[in-house]
Amino acid sequence: MSGNDILSGVSHLTDDTEFYTPFPSGYVKGRTKYVVVFGTVMSGLGKGIFSSSLAKILKDKGLKVAPIKLEGYLNRDSGTLNPFRHGEVFVLDDGMECDMDLGTYERMLDQDLSRLNFSTSGQIFATVLEKERKGLYLGRDVQMIPHVTGEVKHRLRELAVASAADVIFVEIGGTVGDVENAYYIEAVREMAYEEGAENFCFVALTYVIEPQSLGEQKSKAAQINLKLLNAAGIQPHIIACRAHRPVTKKAREKLALYANVPMERVFSMHDCESIYLIPEMLHGAGIDQAVLDILHLQPLVNEQREEDARRTWNAYISRFRGAQHPVTVGIIGKYTSVRDSYASIIQALEHAGTHLNARVQLEWVDSTELTGANVADRLRHIHGVIVPGGFGFRGVDGKIECIEHVRRNGVPYLGLCYGMQMAVIEYARNVLDLRHAGTTEIDRDCPDPVIDLLPEQKRLEGLGGNMRLGGFDVILTPDSLISRLAGGAERLRLRFRHRYEVNPDYIQRLEAGGLVFSGRAPQHPIMQVVELPESVHPFFLATQAHPELTGRPLNPSPFFLGLVRACLVRSGVTPCDDGSEARDADEGCGSERTPHVGSADLVDA
């Protein structure tokens, strides 16, 4: 009897075998294929971008795909991570707080993911220890191999069953050689043996350095790290070479020789102006065809579907490259030194700009440095402003100064999460004359807590326990700005990550003072979208949600479309929905009049 035959029938560890291969109910070995992406040399090379791009190409061919990110850190999720350490926290519809790469997968694949698509070492170890306490290991000593690796394999197979995917894309976080990732690598090595070589494709993402002092590309660091992958029992089928410029044939030849990978499967994934160019880069290099060959997937390819999908995607790329009208959007936050802290906002602006024929340029403004004395000068050349999400007191004064300036001077404004709360506080202070209005997040004894925890939230305990997380429906006020931006929709599905809300005790007074709450929770007194009438301000919109998390290249967020359109108007361009340009405000788009974002001198209500 072969090793594979033994493994196929074993689901529990017993005294007469050392195998531990738990199969979830309904799993059929060999039905699902796996593509595993490893990083070498250094982190941050774009494993998620590569993996999601390759997954998109296969999806375009008619295959069903599902990604999973395996993180080495011991946190249960990404919710408690500082953006300076690990970039933005991406929230899935089911409330899972996860790595920013999950956002890349959702945008590239245009599909919603769940907690099954994300795992950390903290989750793995917690599950193993829970099973040990329940005696599910039959009294055996619990070890990294086979129990911890067995749990990893079970999660991959669990996703295969739940998603019914033809191909699972497995991204292992960090780099080869990291202690915390070693058991992940061992797990996929074991699983490739169990499933059969024809069901696994290994991809190594590496980095080719080019020191300025030498003026040529060097592959030695990549060679050494590929040897580490070989030492772990993984022979890559494909090598993707990251570099600033296209990787030379000489460097690729060296890597092919040292890693035993055919030259045609060692390709350059050099820097380009948008991550959405990567799928065509991979297709042009023939990487998709190599994966089809390795995994014997040709019978599943739908050529007509692929042709249609590529035509649609390349039209988006053409519009991105041809965007003509520059507009500058200021991002006013406290994590501006780390761009990954606002990765989804950057992408959402790119989507909206491409749709409207605008090339969005970003101006990063540290809110801790803004004051009433310098805010006008600092924002002088900016066409629109975003105040993004955040927690805590640092930078709050600067954000409020910024919001007051843009409100009084008609600068387009979009507030996200904390940016909505700050907009409500600013309005209460400077329009309603509640000079001590604030939030109990910063001052528990605030005289006028216009932002506060709702009573039902106060009863919840534990860090994160009273967070409002995940997707919720938002009821829109008919004919409001946000309703018109959403095409007249009566409700939107948005994602949230916050604890504090607009205090219901102040809603009536705020509305009487001119503030419009145009989006609300269906069954609770929770204000989710706020705006100013267009007769008062050309574009002033804020939401307690994070609409940047649900924007997609081919389906931009209405919040960001509205902001970029308003920025174009402020820059002197009247945009049309199809991205074409009207020469002046009276010229229509095709057979219809240009949708115009109103402009008026701003006055206090």
Measured CA to CA, the distance from residue 141 to residue 17 in angstroms comes to 14
List the catalytic residue out of 98, 241, 402, 417.
417
User: What distance lies between CA 81 and its chain's CA centroid?
Assistant: 15
The answer to whether residues 223 and 254 touch, using CB atoms and an 8 Å cutoff, is: yes
In 83-231, where does DSSP find H-type helix? 83-86, 101-109, 121-133, 149-163, 182-195, 220-231
Q: Which of 183, 204, 181, 186 is nearest to 51 (CA)?
A: 204
Measured CA to CA, the distance from residue 383 to residue 329 in angstroms comes to 6
351 in active site: no
Farthest-apart Cα atoms in the chain, separation: 83
Measured CA to CA, the distance from residue 418 to residue 83 in angstroms comes to 15
417 in active site: yes
Measured CA to CA, the distance from residue 502 to residue 102 in angstroms comes to 30
270 in active site: no
User: Which of helix, strand or coil describes residue 242?
Assistant: strand
**Amino acid at position 26, single letter:** G
**R_g over Cα of the chain:** 26
List the catalytic residue out of 86, 351, 383, 546.
546
Q: Spell out the residues 6+ positions from residue 486 whose beta carbon is closer than 8 angstroms to its own.
A: 476, 492, 558
**Structure-block tokens of residue 426:** 């600013």
Q: Which of 143, 146, 199, 202 is nearest to 172 (CA)?
A: 202
User: Which of helix, strand or coil describes residue 290?
Assistant: helix
Residue 326, preceding bond cis, omega within 30 degrees? no
List the catalytic residue out of 158, 548, 567, 576.
548
Residues annotated as part of the active site: 417, 546, 548
